[in-house]
Structure 1
Amino acid sequence: MDRKKIVILFGGCSVEHDISLESACGVLGALDRERYEPVTVGITREGEWLLYRGGPERIANGTWRFGDCVSAALSPNRGERALLVFEAGGVQKITVDAVFPVLHGENGEDGTVQGLCELAGIPLVGCGTLASALGMDKDRSHRLAALAGVRVPRSFALIQGCDLADVHSRAQQLGYPLFVKPAGAGSSFGVSRVAAPQELESAVREALRYGGRALVEECIPGFEVGVAIMGNRELTVGEVDEIELADGFFDFTEKYQLITSKIHVPARIEPEKASEIKRAAEAVYRALGCRGFARVDLFLTPAGEIVFNEINTIPGFTAHSRFPGMMRAAGLTLAQVVARVIELAVQP
Structure 2
Amino acid sequence: MTIPSSPRVAVLAGGLSHERDVSLRSGRRVAEALRSVGVEVSIHDVDSDLVPALGDLRPDLVWPLLHGASGEDGSVRDVVQLLGLRLLGTGPRASRVAWSKPIAKTIVAGAGLATPEFVTLPQSLFRELGAGRVLDTVVARLGLPLVVKPSRGGSALGVNLVTSADDLPRAMVDCFSYSDTALIERAVVGTEVAVSVVDTGDGPVALPPVEIVTDGAYDYDARYNPGRVEYFTPARLDDAVATAVREAAVTAHRSLGLTRLSRTDLIVDGEGQPWFLEVNVAPGMTETSLLPQAAEGAGHNLGDLYRSLVLASLE
Q: Is TM more than 0.5 here?
A: yes
> Which of 281, 294, 303 pairs up with 1:335?
303
- Contact kept? 2:98, 2:256, Cα under 8 Å: yes
> Which of 9, 12, 15 pairs up with 2:15?
12
Q: What does the per-residue CA deviation read over 1:231-271, in whole Å, with 9 as the maximum and x for residues that have no partner?
A: 1661232111111233x331112112254431100111112
Distance 1:281 1:166, change over 3 A: same
Q: What does the per-residue CA deviation read over 1:173-211, in whole Å, with 9 as the maximum and x for residues that have no partner?
A: 211221110011100001111122222122112112223
2:51: which partner in 1? 73
d(CA) in 2 for partners of 1:294 and 1:40? 21
- Contact kept? 1:171, 1:216, Cα under 8 Å: no
Classify the secondary structure of the residue corresponding to 1:239.
coil
d(CA) in 2 for partners of 1:19 and 1:198? 33
> Which of 225, 229, 233 pairs up with 1:261?
229
- Contact kept? 2:225, 2:288, Cα under 8 Å: no
- Contact kept? 2:206, 2:249, Cα under 8 Å: no
- Contact kept? 2:198, 2:261, Cα under 8 Å: yes
Q: Which amino acid aligns with 2:59?
A: V
- Contact kept? 1:32, 1:339, Cα under 8 Å: no
1:171: which partner in 2? 139
Are 2:45 and 1:97 equivalent residues in the alignment?
Answer: no
User: How far is the alpha carbon of 1:172 from its aligned partner?
Assistant: 2.6
2:91: which partner in 1? 128
1:322: which partner in 2? 290
TM-score (normalised: structure 1): 0.83
Q: Which amino acid aligns with 2:239?
A: P
Q: How does 1:204-219 map to 2 (within 5 A)?
A: 204-219=172-187
**Over 2 Å off, 4+ runs:** 32-36, 118-121, 257-261
Bigger shift: residues 286-295 or 204-213: 204-213
Q: What are the ranges of 5 or more consecutive residues in structure 1 without an aligned counterpart? A: 50-70, 75-81, 85-92
d(CA) in 2 for partners of 1:34 and 1:251? 34
Percent identity, aligned pairs only?
30
Are 2:109 and 1:138 equivalent residues in the alignment?
Answer: no
Q: What does the per-residue CA deviation read over 1:137-162, in whole Å, with 9 as the maximum and x for residues that have no partner?
A: 11111101100100000110010222
- Contact kept? 1:182, 1:208, Cα under 8 Å: yes
In our comparison, the structure showing a higher alpha carbon Rg is 1
Are 2:129 and 1:160 equivalent residues in the alignment?
Answer: no
> Which of 35, 39, 60 pairs up with 1:36?
39
Cα RMSD for the two superposed structures: 1.8
Distance 1:301 1:6, change over 3 A: same
> Which of 76, 80, 98 pairs up with 1:117?
80
| Higher strand proportion (structure 1 or 2) | 1
Q: What are the ranges of 5 or more consecutive residues in structure 2 without an aligned counterpart? A: none
d(CA) in 1 for partners of 2:226 and 2:38? 35
d(CA) in 2 for partners of 1:34 and 1:335? 6
> Which of 184, 192, 204 pairs up with 1:235?
204
Distance 1:243 1:2, change over 3 A: closer
Q: Which amino acid aligns with 1:278?
A: R
> Which of 274, 278, 282 pairs up with 1:310?
278
Distance 1:173 1:31, change over 3 A: same
d(CA) in 2 for partners of 1:106 and 1:225? 24
d(CA) in 2 for partners of 1:124 and 1:295? 18
d(CA) in 1 for partners of 2:36 and 2:230? 34
Q: What does the per-residue CA deviation read over 1:82-106, in whole Å, with 9 as the maximum and x for residues that have no partner?
A: 823xxxxxxxx22211111111111
Bigger shift: residues 317-326 or 166-175: 166-175
| Higher helix proportion (structure 1 or 2) | 2
TM-score (normalised: structure 2): 0.92
d(CA) in 2 for partners of 1:301 and 1:166? 28
- Contact kept? 1:139, 1:183, Cα under 8 Å: yes
d(CA) in 1 for partners of 2:157 and 2:111? 28
d(CA) in 1 for partners of 2:101 and 2:158? 13
Q: Which amino acid aligns with 1:15?
A: H
- Contact kept? 1:3, 1:34, Cα under 8 Å: no
